[in-house]
Structure 1
């Protein structure tokens, strides 16, 4: 389109573009066909496509979206190439999934491995650095699981699919509070302070009265561990 052909008062061009009006009927048919292709493709690739997606599955979904998006609004592009591309993507995804069930190393290479973010009430700083998970993100996850301090957690795993798995302590120990510092009212309502000092960042117990740095994360800020009122009364 030439520059002189662009006019702000050309409402028909702004709303309809350069295609004839009857193309919008075709768009409806194309949309229905594309939707059917996507539904069939997702069904053939398995139930996991409607749950937590792995890297391969996410790549497959993105590829499908890119393939079917072109013929959806482009009148000079047919639907058959999108069907062929969808078939190739489905075949590759099914092949990768089949090989992954037979070969553990291949599964680890394509799906990644899980990481342990909390061990025995203490943050695993190496795993957090590797996965680029922040302390705030971990504490937020604990709060979503109704965990008010790290001493309640035996293990927190960061799964290969991006989800979290939590194992609780049978008997909670004093730990670092997961309640935000600004919500002191809530912390006082459910927590009682102990005499045990620990690292304000990772929850590692202070190794000695004269210790200056945490052995786990090398930070030098200490706070008192907390426990829930109901645990303190046991």
Structure 2
């Protein structure tokens, strides 16, 4: 059996450049990176990319594919430019094809892009829909608070868009109802004492209960954490 070659520890050449690669390859890296950068820029311009915050899952897959194809040829000497460029051509062709199909067939669009999901209706969380989404309460409430919502009774309905943004529709001031408070200092302190004549809101779904019996769980979600409901108006 052939003995394995010993590796010299802390070999500056190997650490900085890799095994057997000369420092002159850095000049080629400069050329490779410049070429791939402008190809990426051209492809993104061609595909009409929107802002990064608005990327859908489909568009994110395109970006990852292009990034993977662009990265390796920038600094791996054994990865040539032409195969990478071919990958770009294939990916952008698939992008154009799928974009065309989504415009023609609703089922294809739903499969590729997904569809908006209603998470809040009439001041209450649609618990079953919410549980199906990979969204935490903190994320939901954070987006609501950024729109000056302090309790769910101010929200007529809210939709989780395919981009991950939250579309919110508000009750007019005259129609605001009592709802679950979502300000952190209040939300993180469930009630331990309950009083007659006070309306309470389930911490997990926003279900309302007047004159709550503390030992009875929520009828909607089965949880048993409650907050005193708020009916204050939304600050604009």
TM-score, normalized by the shorter chain, greater than 0.5: yes
Could you tell me how far 1:12 is from its partner in structure 2?
2.9
Q: Is the 8 A contact 1:42 1:49 kept in 2?
A: no
User: Which deviates the most, 29-38 or 46-55?
Assistant: 46-55
Give CA deviations for 1:6-30 in whole Å, capped at 9, x if unaligned.
222x223322333112110110010
Structure-1 residue corresponding to 2:223 = 219
Match of 2:65 among 38, 56, 63: 63
Aligned: 1:202 with 2:214: no
TM-score, structure 1 normalization = 0.84
Match of 1:176 among 168, 175, 180: 180
Structure-2 residue corresponding to 1:189 = none
Could you tell me how far 1:110 is from its partner in structure 2?
1.2
- Spell out the pairing of 1:66-215 with structure 2 (5 A cutoff): 66-171=68-173, 172-181=176-185, 195-206=198-209, 209=212, 212-215=216-219
Q: Secondary structure at the match of 1:175?
A: coil
- Structure 1 residue runs without a partner (length 5+): 185-193
Structure-2 residue corresponding to 1:13 = 14
Q: 1:137 to 1:49 in 2, by over 3 A?
A: closer
Q: Is the 8 A contact 2:116 2:159 kept in 1?
A: yes
Give CA deviations for 1:144-179 in whole Å, capped at 9, x if unaligned.
222111111111111122221111111322211111
Could you tell me how far 1:208 is from its partner in structure 2?
6.6
2: distance between equivalents of 1:51 and 1:221?
35
User: Which deviates the most, 12-21 or 210-219?
Assistant: 210-219
Could you tell me how far 1:49 is from its partner in structure 2?
6.4
Could you tell me how far 1:37 is from its partner in structure 2?
1.1
Please list every run of at least 4 consecutive aligned residues from structure 1 whose deviation after the TM superposition is greater than 3 angstroms: 181-184, 207-211
The aligned length equals 219
Instruction: Give RMSD over aligned pairs.
Output: 2.3
Q: Is the 8 A contact 1:49 1:57 kept in 2?
A: no
TM-score, structure 2 normalization = 0.84
1: distance between equivalents of 2:52 and 2:136?
28
Q: Is the 8 A contact 1:201 1:219 kept in 2?
A: yes
Could you tell me how far 1:116 is from its partner in structure 2?
0.8
- Structure 2 residue runs without a partner (length 5+): 189-196
Q: Secondary structure at the match of 2:120?
A: strand
Q: Is the 8 A contact 1:176 1:198 kept in 2?
A: yes
Structure-1 residue corresponding to 2:194 = none
Could you tell me how far 1:39 is from its partner in structure 2?
0.6
